[in-house]
Amino acid sequence: MQRQFSSVSLLPSGYILLPLCLLAAIGTDSTAMDFEDDIRPFLEKHCLRCHTGDDSSGDTNLDRIRTPQEIDENFETWEKAAELVLAARMPPGDEMQPSETERALLVQWYEARFVQNVQAKSGIFRPRRLSAAEYRNTLRSLLGFDLEVAIIEAEQTRSEKSLVLKILQPDVPGKSGFRNDTHSAPLTTVLWDQYSMLADRALEEFFTPARLAVAADDFDLVVAEKIVRQFVPKAFRRNVPELAIDKIMANIRASNEPLAATKRELKIALMSPEFMYRGLLFKGTEGQHPVDDFELAERLSYFLWADMPDAELFQAAQAGTLSQSDSLRQQVQRMLGSPKSVSLAEDFAVQWLALDEIDHVSDETPYVMALKEQPLDFIDYLIREDRPLVEIIDSQVTFANAFTKKFYAMDGKRLQAVPRQKGIEVAAAPNQKLILENTPERGGLLTMPGILAMNRGPILRGTWILERILGESLPDPPANVGQVAENRAGENLTFRQRFEQHRSNASCALCHDKIDPLGFALQVYDDEGGYVLSPTYKPPKRRRDGLSSQTSHVIDASGQLPSGEKFNDFQELKSILTTTQRARVVRNIVNRLLSYALCRKLEYYDQPTVDAIATKMLENNGTYRDLIMEIVNSLPFRETTL
């Protein structure tokens, strides 16, 4: 897909329009431009003084990018550099400035290498280990039960009962930012021992007479073969050659104790790379080509469920019909209707939106649970009810319970009371769907109390919107940045006025020009997410956002985005996010969900796929199920390169 340009700036789609007069001024064939001959001199002259070494400005070390592979892997760095250079925001004003021709040269090189005639292609096939959550789900689906620890918990507490998640350490997010991106995660001896212990514990439970329905004395080779033929293909998530089954059965027949031998063979299966990794049994010829139906079933199930394929999906793969468009659509719709699809909220959305931060906003467990489950139920609703993508910004539907109804004024009074058990003063309560009729200051994800409480103050809130909703990555702040100064004697400056003095540093302003308008628009919400301008507002006991109930009447929530849109309050900003900034919001959702589905960071050759999907979503007011269908039918999801 050819990238389209409409203004002299970096567009939401990530493309840059170079003025025709500058193109004429360069007089250079962009296809013949060379990094070392044409771009390296520009960097040495205008960039490397600040962007070299581990302490480089903005965490951007341009000097380390040398080889063609390194150049391509850092396409996002070049995209941002081209945007800033073209807009004359880099180099800083106190540095020697490049000429218009030099600026155009960098932008033209970027477009030639990363925009023009870039063809979509699949990623290189790399097996990856199941994440801890995927391993827990897969073991549960394979065995028919969950490994749990016995915990006695009070009504007002919640404890992790999964033995798997208690034993295995949480996965470190990969380059994509998601924990299912485990391509580079090592299989350590400690992890191997943990897998071994879990396999022993699982098989001990699996072979109990109550689950097996066969007494130990009655366990014979017939029973053993039946178990092996059912267990091994499910564990490996594809058909297993008869020769492999014969080898397992030969090992069992060679033993005088068929039960012990069967346990041993099943443990070998559970400890095999074919179980713990995805894709090791996929065979194909060298080059790019479609994945087979079993690999497609595996990609589908771990994308939508974070779990292994179920019997129906496995049967479709066995029949060779899954890759047919009608069959695939039917399976996706069925899977999205399953309770297992809640993993898209509990796994994908939690990581995308950093919702685990809500865990730290209070010591009151039921209250924290209510704050966190609200966005989870909302995301699940958007997917399950097939709502448009932009409803994440503004929606008439929310979810609330007794702990969060205080944030919804008159609307909250319509919640049905949930009876408590006798003697229980504080208990967790389920969320109820709530239609917002009298709460215009709410609606959508951004004003949910948990989101506001985990991002206290304008900087955290603005950064979160910029990174998580608009998809723009920011460098870490300078190490020497100080605190916002308090009012001196006789001063009565608002927090925003004092912050304007604080951010006067030009290098800080580069990011704060983007962060601050978004964050200060939310200053009408306090630390806990309460709406300060409500006539029934009661300030929290502790305030950490620079506001007080006495100063609420002078809150300035107005602002202007770098793209020029002005607003007077958050309601107007929300309108901007769903109209003129809608393309950025939609593209970010496409980027995030595609990356999660592929279990890897997106590369420059994925951008044509992102372009095509984002364009469809924007033109047709696409829904979350529309997006999921586009992803599962996309080239990088359906094909691979060996």
CA dihedral in degrees (154, 205, 140, 200; nearest 10)? 110
What pLDDT is recorded for position 357?
Answer: 97
Say yes or no to pLDDT of 263 above 90.
yes
What is the pTM for the complete model shown? Answer: 0.87
Q: 525 CB contacts (<8 Å, ≥6 apart)?
A: 447, 452, 531, 532
In this prediction, residue 570 has a pLDDT band, given cuts at 50, 70 and 90, of very high
Which band of pLDDT confidence, cut at 50, 70 and 90, is reported for residue 485? low
In the predicted model, what is the mean pLDDT of residues 254-282?
93
Q: Find the mean pLDDT for residues 34-53.
A: 84
Over residues 155-171, the mean pLDDT reads 83
Backbone φ, ψ for residue 388 (5° rounding): -60, 150
Q: Model confidence at 226, in pLDDT bands (50, 70, 90)?
A: very high
Torsion on CA atoms 74, 80, 82, 86, rounded to nearest 10: -170
Q: Are 581 and 604 in contact (CB under 8 A)?
A: no
Looking at residue 212, its pLDDT comes to: 86
Asked if residues 342 and 380 have their Cβ atoms less than 8 Å apart, the reply is: yes
- Calculate mean pLDDT across residues 83-103: 81
Per-residue HEC secondary structure of 4-46 comes to CCCCCCECCCCCECCCHHHHHHHCCCHHHCCHHHHHHHHHHHH
Pick the residue with more confidence: 271 or 9? 271
Please give the share of the chain, as a percent, with pLDDT higher than 90.
60
Please give the pLDDT value at position 591. Answer: 98
Residue 637's identity, in one-letter code, is F
Q: Distance between CA atoms of 532 and 495, rounded to whole angstroms?
A: 15
Q: Which long-range contacts (CB under 8 A, 24 or more apart) does 404-409 make?
A: 404/370, 404/371, 404/374, 404/449, 407/442, 407/449, 407/529, 407/530, 407/531, 408/434, 408/436, 408/439, 408/442, 409/438, 409/439, 409/534, 409/536
Selected residue with higher pLDDT from 455 and 103: 455
| Average pLDDT, integer, range 263-270 | 98
pLDDT of residue 11: 40
Arithmetic mean of pLDDT, 431-440: 95
Q: Distance between CA atoms of 217 and 477, rounded to whole angstroms?
A: 68
Rounded mean pLDDT, 50-59: 74
Q: Is the pLDDT assigned to residue 589 strictly greater than 70?
A: yes
Most confidently modeled range among 88-102, 373-387, 397-411, 486-500: 373-387
Greater model confidence, 262 or 289: 262
Quote the pLDDT of residue 125: 84
Quick one: pLDDT at residue 333?
98
| Position 12 confidence tier, pLDDT thresholds 50, 70, 90 | very low
Residue 216's pLDDT band (cuts 50, 70, 90): confident
Compute the mean pLDDT over every residue in the chain, rounded to the nearest whole number: 87
Structure tokens at 314: 């496995």
Q: Regarding predicted confidence, which is higher, 372 or 476? A: 372
Residue 552: predicted pLDDT = 45
Higher pLDDT, 106 or 632: 632
In this prediction, residue 420 carries a pLDDT of 65
Measured in degrees and rounded to the nearest 5, phi and psi for residue 434 equal -130, 125
Task: Classify residue 457 as exposed, middle or buried by CB count within 10 Å of its CB (0-12, 13-18, 19+).
Answer: buried
pLDDT of residue 106: 85
SS3 state of residue 639: strand
pLDDT at 308: 98
Q: Which residue has the higher pLDDT, 284 or 615?
A: 615
The pLDDT value given to residue 172: 94
d(CA 497, CA 525) in angstroms, rounded, equals 18
- Quick check: 632 and 594 in contact, CB under 8 A? no
**Once rounded to an integer, what is the mean pLDDT over residues 501-516?**
73
At 57, is the pLDDT very low, low, confident or very high (cuts 50, 70, 90)? Answer: low
Give the length of the chain. Answer: 642
User: What confidence score (pLDDT) does residue 284 get?
Assistant: 72
- pLDDT of 102 reads 82
Kind plus residue range of the DSSP H or E element containing 435: strand 432-435
> Residue 7's pLDDT is what?
32
Band of the pLDDT at 75, cuts 50, 70, 90?
confident
